[in-house]
């Protein structure tokens, strides 16, 4: 006989929590690397940036990419 459904669900939740804790470390490191990489791309160029950079700026500034101004970028870089 297999595990009852409630026990399976409990085991799945435990595995998911462990996986999330492990991945949190990797994701934090990757975010730092991405931030550094995007800032170096921004410093060398002016608007409009590559789509990946515009998406990153949009998330950081909490604005649609079409509404981002050079002043917004300057405030983020400094």
Quick one: the chain helix, strand, coil %, rounded to 5? 80, 0, 20
- 1 has a pLDDT exceeding 70: no
Contacts of 58 (CB under 8 A, 6+ apart): 64, 65, 68
Q: Give 10's Cβ-side CA count (13 Å radius).
A: 5
What integer pLDDT is reported at residue 3 of this predicted model? 65
pLDDT at 77: 86
Residue 31: is its pLDDT beyond 80?
Answer: yes
Domain borders along the chain are: 5-77
Per-residue pLDDT tens digits for 55-75: 999 999 999 999 999 999 999
């Amino acid at each position: 006989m297999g595990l009852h459904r409630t026990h399976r669900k409990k085991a799945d939740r435990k595995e998911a929590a462990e996986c999330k804790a492990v991945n949190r470390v990797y994701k934090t490191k990757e975010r730092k690397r991405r931030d550094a990489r995007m800032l170096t791309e921004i410093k060398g160029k002016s608007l409009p940036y590559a789509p990946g950079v515009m998406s990153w700026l949009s998330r950081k500034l909490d604005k649609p990419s079409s509404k981002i101004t050079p002043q917004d970028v300057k405030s983020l870089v400094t």
